[in-house]
Amino acid sequence: MWARALYAMKTSVNICGIEFKNPLIAASGTFGFGREYADFYDVNIWGGICTKGLTYEKRLGNPVPRIAETPMGMLNSVGLQNPGFEGFVEHEMPYLKTLDTVVIANIAGSTIEDYCRLAEALNAHDIDMVELNISCPNVKEGGLAFGVRPASIKNVVSSVRKHCKKPLIVKLSPNVSDIAENAKVAEDNGADAISLINTVGGMAVDIYTRQPILARSIGGLSGPAIKPIALKMVWQVYNSVKIPIIGMGGISSAKDILEFMMCGASLVQVGTYNFTDPYAPVTLLDGLTKLMTDCKILDINTIIGDLKAR
């Protein structure tokens, strides 16, 4: 049903010279490396797939418990568990190369040198874009996240830009005082696109043990609870930068997709909803084409940033 409907209208979006067949990207950290969902449906249905966060060296992640449910989402403190660059190239890249969808490598690090080393190493491999996760703690600056201060954003983005030959997406944290300023700094220092928002800091408590539920006490909140925050920040950034925006944060319906795009997102990432509905892109794309028909939208590109002032 969704395939026939998609044929009747334009849902493809081009950013940074790369064509996405539709605006849906599987968000980093919620989709593994693609094969994890392949038993449920053809993962080529996605416009793009953003890999689990990669570090150069293999990481085992944080101790458990590291996931906690909330009334409108979930908290996670997974800690970037991943196979490292060599494991990624050996075990994940062969599968990703078979896919007919845009592949985005999400990268992370503890130092600027970590980011640069990984970005440069990925140049030789068949990925389409790199997404720079700057919500990671900078060990050289007392553990403060790279993406909190404009000066730190400038340093990491400008440094990675010199080593990265792929289109570079900078993923911003919402846990800041001025998201628009941070986005502008990323743009001025070489970002080709902005993605936002990453998770919002949060906590869950077990009243019977009188302890935090997560082993590391605090984690990142995602899901429908953060959608209003994400919409606001996408809109603020859209009015501050000229480069494309990829919006995310609580998307679980076709209506959500249109809201993000009207606020200025060219594409959207779907994260926590993959856990709620393992057929998430099938459900969302079917709903999107129906809603586009209802709203008389023939080309999804025409609604990007088309939020009317009150």
Q: Report, as residue numbers or ranges, the catalytic residues.
A: 136
Encoding tokens for residue 78?
């997974």
Whether 136 and 146 have beta carbons less than 8 Å apart is answered as yes
CA–CA distance, 285 with 290 (Å, rounded to integer) = 9
Rounded to whole angstroms, the Cα distance separating 128 from 218 reads 33
Residue 94, judged by CB atoms within 10 A of its CB (0-12, 13-18, 19+), counts as exposed
Closest CA to 164 of 126, 127, 116, 125: 116
Please report which residue ranges of 49-201 form alpha helices under DSSP H: 84-87, 93-96, 112-122, 150-163, 179-188
Q: Is 137 helix (H, G, I), strand (E, B) or coil?
A: strand
The closest of 114, 133, 152 to 269, measured between CA atoms, is 133
219 pairs with which residues across the strands?
202
Are the CB atoms for 230 and 11 separated by under 8 Å?
Answer: no
Q: How far is CA 14 from the centre of its chain?
A: 17
- As to burial, measured by CB atoms within 10 angstroms (0-12 exposed, 13-18 middle, 19+ buried), residue 131 is buried
Three-state DSSP state, 85: helix
Is residue 293 classed as helix, strand or coil in its secondary structure?
A: helix
Rounded Cα gap, residues 276 and 245, in angstroms: 25
